[in-house]
Amino acid sequence: MHLVARRAAEFGVDVEGPVRFNLIKAMARKDQIVAGIQKGIYAGLRRKEGAITFLRGEASFLSEHEIDAGDGRLSFDKAIIATGARRATPAIQGLDQVEYLTNRTALQLQELPRRMVVVGGGYIGIEFAQMYARFGTQVTLLGRNVHLAPGEDPELVDALADYLREEGVELHTGAPVLRVGKADSGITVTAQVDGEERTFAGDALLIATGRVGNTDALGLASAGVATRGRGFVKVDDQLRTSQPNIWALGDVKGGWMFTHVATYDGPIAALNAVKDAGKRTDYRVVPRVIFSSPALGAVGLTEVEAREQGYDVVVGKASAVSGRSQAIGDTRGLLKAVVNAKDKEILGFHVLAPHGDDLLHEAVVAMHDHGTIDRISKSIHVHPTLSELVKSAAKAAR
């Protein structure tokens, strides 16, 4: 819709009349897709009905071998905690006095807000700010850190910030929120911007400021399971908790909180719990993506992190300009390869480009088993494809 509304004529497509967005239909399509995914998950459980007893309810530990399952007690030899994480509520003055959206409720709206203030410069804040701005909402994004997406390559996230501004998002970084309040027409948000207090008005407020472990009602102390900051379960590299017969996986242990990490953790925890397999986690090559446009994908260390860890690095850069990106009409972006100068091992790869989420996986595969940059730079890439951009960055790092 964004492309058609702004640039259809450039591609030789004539559109008569305005391009309109129907939020209700978009939400209905989303709900249908989610319902299908959930149905598939539960169907998988039912296919294993003889081996799996599936119970719904609120569970809490009574001891290291017993659980209160709501309808009664269950005893167990071994247990795996996979309760995930939830949105953290920041300590912002006045927040308890106003209605606000979360990443869940913002996907349930039936009416498009005219103005939205997004608090949080991480991946959730970025994705929702751009999405609603493209829907037609006037969006203000406030991030407390100097850069968006702290922990990612500053050069790439600063470029992404510029792209968001070009699309009409009013974006402020280094802007901690001081307080929120009610107004006749909605809400107000006061933040410190460039050393001064500024107040922003909106019809809707989205809070996207981090997550905490879903453990406060689990009775972990009764089971002897230790936690660390923000309620996350402490585990070793075999996903074993402080209680030897209990393991934890996924978001509930903190760290990289992605579905694909939980999927990676699952077999390790299961094999260790059931077969004492001694499998160990290796999070050196965990891909991460911000589903913006262009997408920002990364794996491994940033240039700054690599140097801080004592590596002598070579950094290869390539712009996102290629024959294919020009053909699709989006040449925004930059790719960076971070390579150990000593042995050419790929330490990190960072992609800001159209379909950057898919392009990243070439680097993920190449980094497996400590691969070198030659795996990418010396391989043949089809022309014209976006994948050539990955090779260009790799060649620049040789």
For residue 382, count CB atoms less than 10 angstroms from its CB and return exposed for 0-12, middle for 13-18, buried for 19 or more. exposed
Catalytic residue among 260, 368, 370, 383: 383
Query: Going by C-beta distance under 8 Å and a sequence separation of 6 or more, which residues neighbour residue 12?
Result: none
Q: Between β-strands 288-290 and 295-300, what pairing exists: parallel, antiparallel or unpaired?
A: antiparallel
What is the distance between the alpha carbons of residues 131 and 354, in angstroms, rounded to a whole number?
Answer: 16
- Most distant pair of Cα atoms in the chain: their distance: 68
Q: Where are the alpha helices (DSSP H) in 276-373?
A: 303-308, 323-328, 356-367
Smallest CA-to-CA distance from 143 within 167, 116, 155, 161 is with: 161
Task: Give 50-99 as a DSSP string.
Answer: TT-----S--EEEETTEEE-SSSEEE-S-EEE---EEE-----BTGGGS-
β-strand partners of 319: 334
For the record, the structure tokens of 101 come out as 């959206």
Task: Give 86-145 as a DSSP string.
Answer: EE-----BTGGGS--B-TTGGGS-SS--SEEEEE--SHHHHHHHHHHHHHT-EEEEE-SS
Please answer whether residues 137 and 2 qualify as being in contact, where contact means their C-beta atoms are separated by less than 8 angstroms: no
What is the distance between the alpha carbons of residues 80 and 54, in angstroms, rounded to a whole number?
Answer: 14
What is the distance between the alpha carbons of residues 180 and 174, in angstroms, rounded to a whole number?
Answer: 17
**Is 2 annotated in the active site?**
no
Please answer whether residues 128 and 118 qualify as being in contact, where contact means their C-beta atoms are separated by less than 8 angstroms: yes
Q: Coil, strand, or helix at residue 257?
A: coil
What is the distance between the alpha carbons of residues 304 and 93, in angstroms, rounded to a whole number?
Answer: 35
Rg, the chain, Cα only: 24
Q: Coil, strand, or helix at residue 172?
A: strand
Residue numbers annotated as active site: 383
